[in-house]
Structure 1
Amino acid sequence: MYFASDNAGPAHPSIAEALIRANTGYAMPYGADVAMERVRARLREIFEAPEAAVYLVATGTAANSLALATLAQPWQQVFCSPVAHIYEDECNAPEFYMGAGKLFPVGEGDKIDPAALAAAMGDSAEISVHNAQPGPLSITQVTEKGRIYTCAEIAELSAIAARAGQPTHLDGARFANALVALNCSPAEMTWRAGVDAVSFGGTKNGCVGVEAVIFFDPAKAREFELRRKRGAHLFSKHRYLSAQMEAYLADDLWLDLARRSNARMRMLADGLRALGARFLQEPQANLAFASLPRLMHRRLQAAGAVYYLDGSVEGPDETPLQARFVCDWSLPEEEITRFLEIAAG
């Protein structure tokens, strides 16, 4: 009964098998492998962006940090949510790779409010040389609280950034989960909505460890290549990244796995709601925050359930305590059923 993180689940067998197949013979290093050519072509096809620059790295932090460093100048600030992964959970890596550029949190929630963004970005012509200058916008999709921006919402925010002369980056660690929930195309959720660069996640959705960075403007390609090498994120045995991503994209496995994890969350959320749980936000993908009585949490913890709690289970039985639940692609329905039975007592 593991609901702590979709980072903790196993890799899909197809991806593990692809790594084994790649582990024979010789392949050109540093991204010059033939498999990477196929990955690049496939991602361009998926995103309907034949000129896009496509690169692979091993972690989401590397993808976000290197992408933002390519889009931003050291004297600029990147606008993001105050709970964005780049702001709270990447140990200042974006600032480090940006050469001391700053992150500027907008508003108070997980989804950026357009009016707040417009006010924060302001008119760059009126900003003194003594102050940090406006820089890119970074949106997280799915948000850290489990919500999804609609394509229209992304377009509205990207348009505000564009009016300020700035690009938009999308942190898509759970890109596939958002896409299948919206039932739209990758192009509609990105460049057609004004997004300039995407961190396209694989690790949370069944890969061993691989993320793609996609720039819809190929003029950014050379700079990213230099930053990836200088930042120590260019794999020599790159074929092992390519093999994962190629298997992930084959036969729409990436979409199937996201549908599976989203469905598991719907099953869990329906069961918790029936037990009286209160949700911080209505679950939209594979991530949810729900408050349950401490008595339920004690039962679940005693039975070995694993998830994150916002506080101690000790206290009056009926007092609520919030928890974070995440479903990954491999979670059996039987474990959800067992979890709900234990919670019910």
Structure 2
Amino acid sequence: MKSESSTKSESTQSNVSTQSNVSSQSSASAPSLVLGDVEVVRVVEWQGAFAPARSLVPDSRAELWQDNEEWLAPHHWEPESDSAAGAVQSWVLRSSGRTVLIDTGVGMGRERPGSPMFHHWQGDLLGGLARAGIRPEDVDVVVNTHVHGDHVGGNTVGTEGGWEPAFPNAQYLIPAADDFHYGPDNGYGGGTGRPDDQLMYEDSIAPIHRAGLSVLWDGAHRIDENLTLESAPGHTPGSSVLRLASGDDRAVFVGDLLHSPVQILDPSCNSCFCLNAEQAVASRRRILERAATERELLVPAHFGGAGAVEVRQEGGGFTLGRWAAQG
């Protein structure tokens, strides 16, 4: 690796989304690293504390955070307020002559009344990409690891004619199970009564279908010789991971399989947003075991700090290895 430049209640979800944006900061840089023949560019829109720690990860013990304060603080936990910290960010892979964008953040000006933190959020994904030298028309593939508002909101941009694809030349890879679950045929989220699910689908997914740019996949989907998508359900029905294998280097982009490093130390702990608790735990353990065995760099969607870390097996469980070095 070479460095370069169990559905939870709506009240619990509301507690997470209404945390104030303390210690927030936008990144004006685009750090990157090289894995084999693939350049990985990180585009950070926001970093900070965003939720009470055990509202975000309800089953985690207070001691799990306190005993690991030395490395959790400040990028993953703010002890003074007992708040989980993280990032809204996307990852760009330059692979086999193509530009692949993993997740698109919250977007700009979205109606998200059920998620106050993201309601009318003014994200700057396009600005972050521009600072990395990437124009919207340069993106060849958009990967939505799953269909949640903070992963698909930047799929589209608002125009006088409505919502249009933000990346007009891209193929959008969307998990088929999530497209069904959050789409109209399933009552926009299985009839849970959450208005954000329908708003999200109609402004961020439906326009991609209308433009003929969507590709629905299930099980596994090969992007190129270096990149493969695999299903890892539980967080959502179609949650997925993207595996990178190039030369001797390995990485796995795990979306929301993990929201906090404490879930590496105790994989039985789900986030409050995991729809199927048992499935989510099984997927998390399976992905962590392979990451440790094959020395894959683990790249979750929302980790702050370095954003990516090695995982080791220890005493029948897992521990953290080295954090990624990014220029």
TM-score, normalised to structure 1, is 0.28
TM-score, normalised to structure 2, is 0.29
Q: Which has the larger radius of gyration?
A: 1
Greater strand proportion: 2
Greater RCO (CA < 8 Å, at least 6 residues apart): 1
Greater helix proportion: 1
